[in-house]
Structure 1
Amino acid sequence: MATLPPKEDDPYKLKCLIIDDEPIAVRGIINYINALGTLEIVGHCSTAMEASEALKANTVDLLFLDINMPYLTGLEFLESLENPPLCIITTAYAEYALEGFRLNVVDYLMKPISFQRFFQAVSKAREIFRSELMLKEEPQESNSDMYVRQGDSFQRIRWMDILYIESMQNYLKIHFKDEALIIHQTMASIEAMLPKDYFFRIHRSYLINVSHIDTISGGRVIVGGKELPLSRQRRDELLNSVVYKNLISK
């Protein structure tokens, strides 16, 4: 198979990790990656435990993840990650496709994997990666519009209209005045996108827009008429760094 020349200046060259306990499958994926020339392999692992260590030691943008592995399945491993990279499932089991897409995987490839399907999945991953990079680079403070990921597409919202964001295991629920939007994204990733002068983490599960605070009382914050828990460790910081500062500025 002919190999495309690598693009050293390609800003969207994803660093990928292969997680599969079948040597033949690993070699096949490596051959496809080498043929594309648009990905960089940081390593390959045969168990979820090895993969966990590899993620700690390396920057990884994309996983090629098998499902049927010893000790911990690929889906169990993916669900355990707090802020998972993009993921392409590679498996011989079709029955887990729905569960895979519930975890917001980029694509679900059935073994034996054709080069055409592999190319399609990688192209899709690169486009999502490119879009996410553009969102991070855009200065959100000067623009009230932002985009949140829904599957392989992005929806535009106005962060000024957000009342608060609630963490729900692998999902987030963004609360507005008259509606709520459920997205598959981590709290850490969306917090990094939002202007820090306006948004404050009052609790492990809640991020609030301070401009919509109605009342702060004891261990509770009322935002848009909804009573939310305020952790003891965060109460003083909320008062000192957000509320008092805003009162003085007014």
Structure 2
Amino acid sequence: MIHYLIVDDEPIAHRIIEKYCAHLPYLEKKGNCYNAFEAMQFLNENEINLLFLDINMPKLSGFDFLKTISNPPKIIVTTAYQEFALEGYELNISDYLLKPFNFERFVKAINKTILPIKEKGNSLVLTKSETELVASSFFLKGDKKHSQVHFKDLLFIEAYGHYTKVYLKNEIIISHEKISSFEKLLPESQFIRTHKSFIVAKNEINHIEGNRISIQNHKIPIGQTYKGNVNKLLL
């Protein structure tokens, strides 16, 4: 479980972040702070993995507050001020959300941020494979709605012009996401890139014959560049 804290002087910002986080089962709220001094005290008394931080707050700005933390958690900045983005990345933040941000953009920030996080005692270990235990699904926008896609239901993904087709056991979702985005998101232990246009679920492969992979009644090509990836499955 990823424990998060919201630091923002606007109550409505807390409600929006809480609403979005409620859709992601691996996120758990630990507290709400409305200025930097409250956050200082809270962090001294609690272990936090992820901090949603506003910049423009009274008395002490978000970035000035961040500079006082010796061992900061992962930081997602939430602000209406685009001009501070460069300074934020110099402070090693994970992502910079410009208000007002929608749910799709929020999920991208979360996926980018929690990928290297794993709880281990009171510390964070930066590994990708171990964090796969944390995230077992993601939200995907398609057909004017956000659908929760569970890894266990995903058969394969196909690049389709400017879109991608996400083949699930019971439906197909057409998405604007690039296939490279899915490759970064999906756990390597469960999925494999077999072609410039295809990512497949390892557990759903029926058989491999020549340069083709069979999944249910689908035939997925194996590209020459990715043949080495597939050969590793045969060892």
TM (norm. structure 2) is 0.51
Question: Contact 1:167–1:173 at 8 Å: present in 2 too?
Answer: yes
Give the 3-state SS of the residue equivalent to 1:125 in structure 2: coil
How many Å apart are 1:155 and its aligned residue?
Answer: 2.2
Q: Provide Cα deviations, 1:81-109, integer angstroms capped at 9, x if missing partner.
A: xxxxx9xxxxxxxxxxxxxxxxxxxxxxx
1:135 to 94, 98, 111: 111
Q: Residue 166 of structure 1 is aligned with which of 142, 158, 162?
A: 158
Partners of 1:125 and 1:185 in 2: CA distance: 17
* Paired position in structure 1 for 2:149: 157
Does 2:62 align with 1:7? yes
Give, as a single letter, the amino acid of the residue that structure 2 aligns with 1:123. K
Stretches of structure 1 that go unaligned for 5 or more consecutive residues are 15-32, 43-60, 63-85, 87-121, 245-250
Instruction: Report the Cα distance in structure 2 between the residues aligned to 1:128 and 1:243, rounded to whole angstroms.
Output: 37
TM-score of the aligned structures, taking structure 1 as reference length: 0.48
Instruction: Indicate yes or no: 2:183 matched with 1:198.
Output: no
Alignment partners' CA distance in 2, 1:153 and 1:129? 14
Q: Find the partner of 1:237 among 221, 225, 229.
A: 229
Q: Is the 8 A contact 1:13 1:40 kept in 2?
A: no
Contact residue 194 and residue 229 of structure 2 kept, 8 A: no
Deviation at 1:233, TM superposition (A): 3.1
Change (3 A) 1:123 1:227: same
5 Å-filtered alignment, 1:63-102, equals none
Change in CA separation of 1:193 and 1:217 when aligned onto 2, cut-off 3 Å: same
The answer for the alignment partner of 1:220 in structure 2 is: 212
- Structure 1 match to 2:84: 40
CA apart distance, 1:150: 4.3
Q: How is 1:176-191 mapped onto 2 (pairs within 5 angstroms)?
A: 176-191=168-183
Q: How does 1:98-109 map to 2 (within 5 A)?
A: none
Q: Which residue of 1 aligns with 2:100?
A: 124
| TM-align CA RMSD | 3.6
Bigger share in helix: 1
Q: In the aligned structure 1, how far is the partner of 2:234 from the partner of 2:185?
A: 21
How many residues are paired up? 148
Separation of aligned partners in 1, 2:83 and 2:192: 37
176 and 232 in structure 1: CA distance in 2 versus 1, 3 angstrom threshold: same
Which structure has greater strand proportion? 2
- Shift in Å, 1:152: 8.7
Task: Give yes or no for contact 2:193–2:229 (8 Å, CA) kept in 1.
Answer: no
Using the alignment, how far apart are the partners of 1:7 and 1:152 within structure 2? Answer: 34
Partner residue, 2:136: 144
Q: CA deviation at 1:151?
A: 8.4
Distance 1:210 1:229 in 2: 14
Decide whether the 8 Å contact of 1:163 with 1:177 is kept in 2.
Answer: yes
Query: Match of 2:206, SS?
Result: strand
The answer as to whether partners of 1:7 and 1:38 remain within 8 angstroms in 2 is no
